[in-house]
Amino acid sequence: MSDLYRALADETRRAVLDELATRDGQTLFEICSLLAMRHGLTLTRQAISQHLGVLEAAGLVVTEKRGRSKFHYFNREPLAEIARRWPVREETRP
């Protein structure tokens, strides 16, 4: 679970997840373009690829290779596990 928190601690990785949450199944090129346009992040493809590797190691991103292209998908299950483990309780007020 520490990999999950480490992955979420980085602003760039959260931006990657935001983009995948908007539209799943993107290539590295698409993700890099969206991060530059929408978030002003002009990192190299290698840097974004390393961020994707951290997200994949944490179980937040899964990939599928089709031909020469690799598609990235947001796996929400690790976040759902956190929500199940520590449910938010409504406060009761007198």
Question: Options 1.20.58.760, 1.10.10.10, 2.60.40.4070, 3.40.50.2300; which CATH number does 2-85 get?
Answer: 1.10.10.10
Structure confidence at residue 82 as a pLDDT band (50, 70, 90): confident
Q: Which residues pair with 73 in a beta bridge?
A: 62
pLDDT in tens, 24-70: 999 999 999 999 999 999 999 999 999 999 999 999 999 999 999 99
The two three-digit tokens of residue 72, written as one number? 């990235």
Domain ranges of the chain: 2-85
Q: Name the pTM for this structure.
A: 0.86
Is the pLDDT assigned to residue 20 strictly greater than 70? yes
Strands (E) across the chain are located at 61-66, 69-74
